[in-house]
């Protein structure tokens, strides 16, 4: 699939713009703070449903204005489509091919994109939460069920934690404490059910993405680096959801006293992680900056490949400010893979050679095609 055109009104520092993209490589260049990332963010908002920077919709409105709108005209393997987002009077409305959508979630898994930005180095270097976020976003792109499961799990976890907080309240009578503790079993059962399903999906995804990432890493490193990604969770056989539901239930039940002492649920899929190794060593601890960057790139490209396999649609690849950090060999590898893909690349470098890329200059929230 590819994005043909983005039309923006009052989006961050962009008053009004229409940007047409080529189905191949697009280079958005310009000095700092001109609006390159804002443009890329506005494309990705249709894949994630919200800003990848975590900005609330109301803060995407250009300072001093009362609304913003973004239209994405894109082509997938079946037809030409249009998605539209309008934020005004504190509300965000979403439309797909001019039909109003009830919920944000209804917009996801229509326009598919893979984003790669400098913060994604956190997938290898950062906290487990960054790896879980990577998994959640990647799997959400290919499975709407997974999005619902995450929402159900989160809600149940909040309910369980709220009950734990009540149990921990100072001065609570032993009988009240015992009866509230009994009530935990309802949440334990629900949490175990959702945890088992989420873990099964994560395990399946990681098992599939790992060989692709390994292959890409090996290609980019002249076969020198062997990348291995493994899913790390609290149960032995996450692929067997039936069994792991029982295991999670046991974990929650046996962990009750500990959770009460800590004031929140200490085990579960909200604590999952990924183990990312290179030639047998943990990349986070032992990898060089170059290896880490290459691994993130390999993982992101593999995410795109997974999206293509699961959905039959080639996603749009968005690279924010990462090209300048890559060496010539890796740049060449990326460009060689671009033949059948749409790339939208932002960079501060004006004189980079991207073959016959479409070049779009950015200046003060305005875009000029060359």
Residue 291 found at the interface with ligand ADP (CB under 6 A): no
**Between residues 61 and 307, which has the closer beta carbon with respect to ligand ADP?**
61
Residue 315 found at the interface with ligand ADP (CB under 6 A): no
**Between residues 37 and 342, which has the closer beta carbon with respect to Mg ion?**
37
Stretch binding ligand ADP (CB under 6 A), from 30-38, 121-129, 149-157, 257-265: 30-38
**Between residues 37 and 292, which has the closer beta carbon with respect to ligand ADP?**
37
- Side by side, which strands form the sheet with 227-232? 227-232, 273-278, 281-282
Strands 343-347 and 25-29: parallel
Among 16, 33, 66, 91, which residue sits at the site for ligand ADP (rule: CB under 6 A)?
33
Rounded least distance, CB 220 to ligand ADP, Å:
26
Query: Is the CB of residue 369 less than 8 Å from the CB of residue 20?
Result: yes
**Between residues 34 and 292, which has the closer beta carbon with respect to ligand ADP?**
34
Query: Is the CB of residue 8 less than 8 Å from the CB of residue 14?
Result: yes
One character per residue 51-80, x = contact with ligand ADP (rule: CB under 6 A): --------x-xxx-----------------
C-alpha distances (whole Å) from 230 to each of 90, 212, 304 are: 42, 13, 18
Among 7, 37, 42, 190, which residue sits at the site for Mg ion (rule: CB under 5 A)?
37
Q: Which does 22 bind (CB under 5 to 8 A by kind): Mg ion, ligand ADP, none?
A: none
Total residues at the site for ligand ADP (CB under 6 A)?
16
Among 13, 81, 104, 161, which residue sits at the site for ligand ADP (rule: CB under 6 A)?
13
Quick one: tokens of 145?
């069920």
For residues 227 and 205, what is the distance between their CA atoms, to the nearest angstrom? 16
For residues 317 and 315, what is the distance between their CA atoms, to the nearest angstrom? 6
Computed over its alpha carbons, how large is the radius of gyration of the chain? 23
Query: Is the CB of residue 241 less than 8 Å from the CB of residue 189?
Result: no
Q: b/e for 136-161, b at 16 or more Cβ within 10 A?
A: bebbbbbbeebbebbebbeebbeebe
Residue 35 found at the interface with ligand ADP (CB under 6 A): yes
Among 17, 36, 50, 188, which residue sits at the site for ligand ADP (rule: CB under 6 A)?
36
Residue 34 found at the interface with Mg ion (CB under 5 A): no
For residues 165 and 56, what is the distance between their CA atoms, to the nearest angstrom? 29
Residue 34 found at the interface with ligand ADP (CB under 6 A): yes
**Between residues 119 and 254, which has the closer beta carbon with respect to Mg ion?**
119
Rounded least distance, CB 38 to Mg ion, Å:
8
Rounded-to-10 torsion of CA 94, 300, 353, 320: 50
Query: Is the CB of residue 349 less than 8 Å from the CB of residue 324?
Result: yes
Quick one: tokens of 260?
């009460």
Neighbours of 241 (CB within 10 A): 19
**Between residues 39 and 196, which has the closer beta carbon with respect to Mg ion?**
39
Rounded least distance, CB 105 to ligand ADP, Å:
25
Length of the chain: 370
Rounded least distance, CB 92 to Mg ion, Å:
24
Interface with Mg ion by CB under 5 A: which residues? 36-37
Residues at the interface with ligand ADP (CB under 6 A): 12-13, 30, 32-38, 59, 61-63, 346, 362
């Amino acid at each position: 699939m590819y994005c043909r055109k983005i039309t923006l009104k009052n989006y961050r520092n962009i008053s009004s713009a229409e940007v047409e993209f080529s189905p191949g490589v697009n280079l958005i260049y310009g000095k700092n703070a001109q609006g390159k990332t804002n443009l890329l963010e506005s494309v990705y908002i249709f894949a994630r449903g919200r800003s990848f920077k975590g900005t609330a919709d109301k803060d995407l409105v250009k300072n001093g204005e009362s609304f913003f709108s973004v239209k994405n005209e894109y082509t997938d393997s079946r037809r030409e489509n249009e998605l539209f987002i309008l934020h005004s009077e504190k509300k965000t409305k979403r439309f797909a091919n001019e039909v109003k959508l009830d919920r944000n979630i209804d917009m996801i898994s229509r326009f598919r994109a893979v984003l790669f930005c400098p913060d994604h180095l956190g997938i290898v270097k950062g906290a487990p939460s960054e790896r879980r976020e990577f998994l959640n976003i990647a799997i959400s792109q290919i499975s709407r069920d997974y999005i619902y499961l995450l929402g159900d799990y989160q809600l149940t976890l909040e309910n369980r934690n709220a009950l734990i907080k009540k149990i921990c309240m100072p001065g609570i009578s032993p009988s009240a404490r015992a009866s509230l503790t009994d009530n935990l079993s309802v949440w334990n059962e629900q949490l175990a059910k959702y945890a088992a399903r989420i873990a099964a999906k994560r395990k399946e995804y990681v098992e599939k993405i790992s060989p692709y990432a390994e292959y890409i890493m090996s290609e980019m490193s002249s076969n020198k680096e062997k990348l291995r990604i493994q899913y790390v969770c609290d149960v032995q056989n996450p692929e067997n959801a039936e069994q792991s539901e029982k295991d999670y239930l046991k974990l929650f039940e046996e962990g009750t006293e500990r959770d009460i002492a800590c004031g929140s649920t200490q085990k579960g899929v909200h604590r999952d992680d990924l183990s990312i190794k290179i030639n047998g060593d943990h990349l986070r601890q032992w990898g060089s900056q170059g290896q880490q960057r290459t691994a993130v790139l390999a993982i992101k490209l593999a995410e795109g490949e997974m999206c293509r396999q699961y959905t039959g649609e080639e996603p749009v690849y968005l690279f924010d400010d990462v090209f300048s950090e890559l060496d010539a060999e890796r740049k060449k590898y990326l460009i060689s893979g671009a033949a059948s893909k749409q790339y939208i690349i932002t960079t501060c470098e004006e004189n980079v050679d991207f073959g016959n890329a479409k070049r779009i200059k950015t200046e003060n929230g305005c875009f000029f095609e060359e």
